Structure 1
Amino acid sequence: MKNFKRILAAMMATMMTLALVTGCGKDTSSDSGPSQNTGDTGEEYDVYFYAWTNEDNVKPLIEAFNEEYEGKYNLVYQKLNDAGTMTINTALASGEQIDVMTQSSAIDLRQRADSGTYLGLKSFMDDEGLDYATLFGESQEQVQNINGDYYSFPYCNNINMVFYNKNLFNEAGVEYPADDWTWDDFREKAKQLTSGEGANKIYGAMMDFGGPAENGGGDQYWMTIAQQKLGAFAYYSPDFTETRFDAPEFKESLQFFYDMVMVDQTVVPLSEYTTMKYQNDTNGMIGLYNNKYAMWVAPVYGCLYLNESYGESPEGTDIGMANLPRPVGSEENISITYTSTASIPANAPNPEASWALLKFICIDHPELFAGPKAMHPGIIYEDEEAEHKMNEIIFSDHPGLNAEMAIEVMEQDRTLITKDNTHLEGQVKINDLIQADMALVFNGEMSVDEALADLKEKGDQYIQEDMKQ
């Protein structure tokens, strides 16, 4: 991993040196050469924004930014093929002008920050009196604080909720989830909603088991209760020198989901989950409205997959949304979230312009970038009216969704715990081990205690190995 950092740093240093000699900007409106795009000529400065979002979704953002900064900045959007590590690293090392770059991986963000690829943002924030925790929440500040500086802003907060098939609830005579429901309530409802056998079986719930990135990724929802109770950096000890897979919170969390999947058999099993590719969010929503299961744990943006462009839902589709269940005994709603972020490359030729765009996207107008993607914004709203308008953008125009219910639920108070992980020691190998061990657990080949013991022993070893490098 440290070799990666040195290689990337060397690549970026080389490209920065070349940029100083030849100019690294692009000017698509004239033949005067890229070195003219410095912001010092009195002409509009072209600000280049890189992301993987469909170009049509970015048009309102481009129009609004160019209107606000008319005569000073001109936003130019460059679409990446995907959010892959290599795709973004290649772009960053290409020598092309990049004023703001996006990413979805917290590991990638940390590596780029450590290698000097990204510009620290704290000086910009200090100049404007901005506080990271106030803007984005304490949990986000905790993971984004890298040696006292910040190298990205989250443009979205992918908050996990529970989407549910109201028709299946009605047919089974099961009450809709209450605002303060617990995981015990979730388990009981899953039992009541499970029916049938074989190909005709309807499961009470579907939750991700994780999966390889090439198969659509997926989440490790078996950790949810532990994350709710332990907070950010859940599987690290407070001093990051060992794991805490031996903590009772992890035993409680894994045992709970093991019992639902393997004992109750009320959750889509791993074999079917893999075959149907339910880790793909589009397929997740399709399975929900086609009565394959009654409840689906997914980020807020899951509502987007009710749109006809992802498949036509059956007539009469009625999807509700509820809070993520509380741990038993908790007095508050606690949801797990993760982000995608935007950063300023260290070799951006006009940092002032980059800062203006970054702030415009992530703080001033999240409705223009996160909104079209049905993503909850990264910022915490102080204004209830602004929050309501954003929720209307997120939840409107999705056929079959009970938008009024979704908005009402979304606007309830909750504590957000990020599962983003910017601490590198052991992380990559631990994540691979989690994937391997959980496949054995949920295929019935490894017990809960055996898995947690294996994660503890090897995870601690991985951390120590990385600390010695």
Structure 2
Amino acid sequence: MKKRALSLALACTMAVTALAGCSGGSKETTAATEGTKAETKAAETTASAGGQTTLKWSVWDISSTTYYQPLIDAFEKAHPDVKIEMVDLGSTDYQTVLATELTGSGSDFDVVTVKDVPGYMTLVNKGVLEPLDSYIESSKVDLAQYKGLTDQIKVENKLYELPFRNDFWVLFYNKDIFDKAGVAYPTNDMTFEQYDKLARSLTVDTPGQEVYGAHYHTWRSAVQLFGVLDGKNTIIDGKYDFLKPYYDMVLKEQEDGVCQDYATLKTSGLHYSGAFAQGNIAMMNMGTWFISTLMDKIRTGEYTDCKNWGIVKYPHAEGVEPGSTLATITSLAIPANAPHKDLAWEFINFVSGKDGAEILASTGTIPAVMNSTVADLVSSADGFPKADGTSVEALNTSKLYLEMPVNPKSSEIETVLNEAHDAIMTGSITADDGIAQMNEKIGAILGK
């Protein structure tokens, strides 16, 4: 994996493995594009002539996502004949539901949000996404504004999505818990050993007054991706022995009551935002996407027990540069069967470009297009903790590693990683056995 430095402006050039395979669906998609373009344009003209045209946009977590409506309001103001209709497919199985929708005969989405790389590869392989290259060329979109990111998500030299968000993982902390315990706040340079010791020092196991020093959401990435921060391994290598120290740490914390029990969290379906909002979690590793939600919920009075919060850089292994962390992109795409492709492209171009980036940043969300103006907007957003000495600096990362590098087998790899993680964290198998399972099954997938 290639490593590149990231500036304070958060220019998001990420280390990824070059895509070595070819999608079987792109030629079909191209043919569909050529055969339906004139027909689609005619349909859009007819719809507009009859009044307002509605674009259907697939999303998740409408109620807890602050930037959807500002983006829609700005676009509709500039396009009074267009109405954006969001369709919430839920967050838990979003990509699975989306793939089912797009491969069915009744889907009429104009714009779809692509949540992750495995989901992206699944949709491309199924041939259900429209190549965006002709639209990008005709609109003279400068792909350089994505700092090389778009080069890393091409399939057969075609681009099927355009990123509009680029989030990375940080450590959220509740200052009130630290203050009450008389413990100094976490810093932007902590090893995992220091982090574990700090979490233990804040844990309170008094019945009815429990305080958890750490919290890990049920995603595999909350634990597994600690292991890729040294740049020596990726999650698609086929060998996973490097995960052992991190599973050992988290499983021991779970056993000692430092963090909540994984099986209980999984059964209850407790969302990470709800967990932090309860006010009894000292530290929680989570992506920067939570910043805007947290600020908004505190501002509206919904969250009252975590109002005094901050962020620091991710903990790191010995010898790893502070600020090394994990990145994930969120993108927009046009389905191959979209009813209003040209208008859909206009919306995608707006959201993924400079104007959309400024709207996202004003809500505290990290956009894919980052410049000095946008970076300033993120840290100056209402509710962002500017004066604690850690939070603003936490936005200055050193190295970013893509959570799941683009790979033709990424969806299959993701399935095995998730199954093993679930089994390890619920105690169904040991960490050693789970890692051996990953090595065997993913090795077979990769032909090793």
Q: TM-score range by the shorter chain?
A: 0.7 to 0.9
Tell me how far 1:14 sits from its aligned partner.
9.0
Aligned residue in 2 for 1:244: 239
Instruction: Decide whether the 8 Å contact of 1:391 with 1:410 is kept in 2.
Output: no
Q: What does 1:19-418 correspond to in 2, within 5 Å? A: 34=43, 36-37=45-46, 46=53, 48-52=55-59, 54=62, 58-68=68-78, 74-82=81-89, 84=94, 85-87=96-98, 89-90=100-101, 98-125=109-136, 132=143, 134-137=144-147, 141-142=151-152, 144-208=153-217, 210=218, 218-230=219-231, 234-237=234-237, 243-246=238-241, 249-262=242-255, 265-274=257-266, 276-278=268-270, 280-287=271-278, 289=279, 291=280, 293-303=281-291, 304-305=293-294, 307=297, 312-314=302-304, 317-347=307-337, 353-367=343-357, 370=360, 374-379=364-369, 381-382=370-371, 384-393=372-381, 396-397=382-383, 402=385, 404-405=387-388, 408-418=392-402
Indicate the structure (1 or 2) with the bigger Cα radius of gyration: 1
The one-letter code sitting in structure 1 at the alignment partner of 2:393 is V
- Cα 1:116–1:316 change in 2 (3 A) is closer
Tell me how far 1:412 sits from its aligned partner.
1.9
Instruction: Decide whether the 8 Å contact of 2:115 with 2:329 is kept in 1.
Output: yes
Aligned residue in 2 for 1:425: 409
The one-letter code sitting in structure 1 at the alignment partner of 2:154 is N
Q: TM-score, normalised by structure 2?
A: 0.76
Tell me how far 1:8 sits from its aligned partner.
12
Alpha-carbon distance between aligned partners in 2 of 1:118 and 1:457, rounded to the nearest angstrom = 32
Alpha-carbon distance between aligned partners in 2 of 1:135 and 1:231, rounded to the nearest angstrom = 28
- Cα 1:357–1:426 change in 2 (3 A) is closer
- Cα 1:12–1:86 change in 2 (3 A) is farther
Q: Look up the SS of the partner of 1:255 in the other structure.
A: helix
Tell me how far 1:112 sits from its aligned partner.
2.4
Instruction: Decide whether the 8 Å contact of 2:24 with 2:125 is kept in 1.
Output: no
Instruction: Decide whether the 8 Å contact of 1:282 with 1:310 is kept in 2.
Output: no
Kindly, what percent of the aligned residue pairs are identical?
16
* Count of residue pairs the alignment pairs up: 416
Alpha-carbon distance between aligned partners in 1 of 2:88 and 2:77, rounded to the nearest angstrom = 28
Tell me how far 1:196 sits from its aligned partner.
2.5
- Cα 1:434–1:258 change in 2 (3 A) is same
The one-letter code sitting in structure 1 at the alignment partner of 2:288 is V
Q: Look up the SS of the partner of 1:185 in the other structure.
A: helix
Q: Look up the SS of the partner of 2:163 in the other structure.
A: strand
Instruction: Decide whether the 8 Å contact of 2:43 with 2:339 is kept in 1.
Output: no
Tell me how far 1:101 sits from its aligned partner.
2.4
Instruction: Decide whether the 8 Å contact of 1:38 with 1:350 is kept in 2.
Output: no
Alpha-carbon distance between aligned partners in 2 of 1:96 and 1:445, rounded to the nearest angstrom = 39
Alpha-carbon distance between aligned partners in 2 of 1:427 and 1:315, rounded to the nearest angstrom = 38
Alpha-carbon distance between aligned partners in 1 of 2:122 and 2:327, rounded to the nearest angstrom = 21
- Cα 1:433–1:350 change in 2 (3 A) is closer
Instruction: Decide whether the 8 Å contact of 1:301 with 1:375 is kept in 2.
Output: yes
Q: Give the number of the structure with larger relative contact order, counting CA–CA contacts within 8 Å between residues 6 or more apart.
A: 2
Tell me how far 1:37 sits from its aligned partner.
3.7
Alpha-carbon distance between aligned partners in 1 of 2:163 and 2:410, rounded to the nearest angstrom = 24
Instruction: Decide whether the 8 Å contact of 2:162 with 2:333 is kept in 1.
Output: yes
Instruction: Decide whether the 8 Å contact of 1:190 with 1:205 is kept in 2.
Output: yes
Instruction: Decide whether the 8 Å contact of 2:326 with 2:402 is kept in 1.
Output: yes
RMSD over aligned Cα atoms: 4.1
The one-letter code sitting in structure 2 at the alignment partner of 1:193 is L
Alpha-carbon distance between aligned partners in 1 of 2:359 and 2:99, rounded to the nearest angstrom = 19
Tell me how far 1:198 sits from its aligned partner.
4.8
Alpha-carbon distance between aligned partners in 1 of 2:355 and 2:243, rounded to the nearest angstrom = 39
The 10-residue stretch of structure 1 (85-94 or 455-464) with the greater mean CA deviation from structure 2 = 85-94
Alpha-carbon distance between aligned partners in 1 of 2:321 and 2:98, rounded to the nearest angstrom = 44
Alpha-carbon distance between aligned partners in 1 of 2:197 and 2:56, rounded to the nearest angstrom = 47
Tell me how far 1:190 sits from its aligned partner.
0.8
Instruction: Decide whether the 8 Å contact of 1:179 with 1:322 is kept in 2.
Output: yes
Which sections of structure 1, spanning at least 5 residues, go unmatched? 26-32, 211-217, 238-242
The one-letter code sitting in structure 2 at the alignment partner of 1:285 is F
Which sections of structure 2, spanning at least 5 residues, go unmatched? 1-22
Tell me how far 1:90 sits from its aligned partner.
2.7
Tell me how far 1:455 sits from its aligned partner.
1.2
Tell me how far 1:193 sits from its aligned partner.
0.9
Alpha-carbon distance between aligned partners in 2 of 1:318 and 1:351, rounded to the nearest angstrom = 45
Q: Look up the SS of the partner of 1:358 in the other structure.
A: helix
Alpha-carbon distance between aligned partners in 2 of 1:154 and 1:139, rounded to the nearest angstrom = 8
Alpha-carbon distance between aligned partners in 1 of 2:422 and 2:395, rounded to the nearest angstrom = 36
